Amino acid sequence: MKNLLLFSSLLALTLFLVQCQPAPTPKDIINDQFPEDQAAITLILDDIYKSAQAKDLEKLASFHLYGPKFSDFKDGLPRGNAEQNKQSEQAVFSAVSNLEYDLRDVKVDVFGDVAVATFHGYFEGDMGENHITMQLQGTLVFAKTDKTWKIVHEHFSPLNPANPI
């Protein structure tokens, strides 16, 4: 009986203490900046292009959440899917040598477990005997899974050379 009384008292005290805890402040996904997540995604952007420079195609693919919800838009073509994107990236980055990149006007907005990164990308390299340069506007949409950010959508379009950033 004494043990039951002690157990009941401890249970009542625990419930009382739990109820006295202040409620967590809700996240404002519109106005809060989430600087740790912004910094993590900025580092991922750099790591993506370093992987492309190193032709580490497996690591490059690992930044994506390839699956049925993945999509991309490139150069005004119809919407692409995960397999098309993977094949395209592998073909391009395995063919390009001496890749250099400069990401400018990078903006990362975090909305809880979803983030949008936009930037102007300046790329150049060699494809066989040809030297190529590209100026692109890029949008990458990320989803947070298991505390890791993965790309779920890409959109690249030519940057208007009359309005360089």
Residues of the chain with confidence (pLDDT) below 70: 1-25, 161-165
Tell me, yes or no, whether 40 lies in a domain.
yes
Tell me, yes or no, whether 119 lies in a domain.
yes
What is the pLDDT, as a whole number, of residue 7?
54
Tell me, yes or no, whether 60 lies in a domain.
yes
Cα–Cα distance between 85 and 47 in angstroms, integer? Answer: 18
What burial class does residue 48 get, using C-beta atoms within 10 Å of its C-beta: 0-12 exposed, 13-18 middle, 19+ buried?
Answer: buried
Tell me, yes or no, whether 74 lies in a domain.
yes
CATH number of the domain at 127, please.
3.10.450.50
Query: Total domain count for the chain?
Result: 1
- For residue 32, give both structure tokens: 């809060």
What is the radius of gyration, based on Cα positions, of the chain? 23
Tell me, yes or no, whether 25 lies in a domain.
no
What is the pLDDT, as a whole number, of residue 93?
93
Q: What is the pTM of this model?
A: 0.81
125: enclosing H helix or E strand: strand 114-127
Q: What range defines the domain where residue 38 resides?
A: 33-158
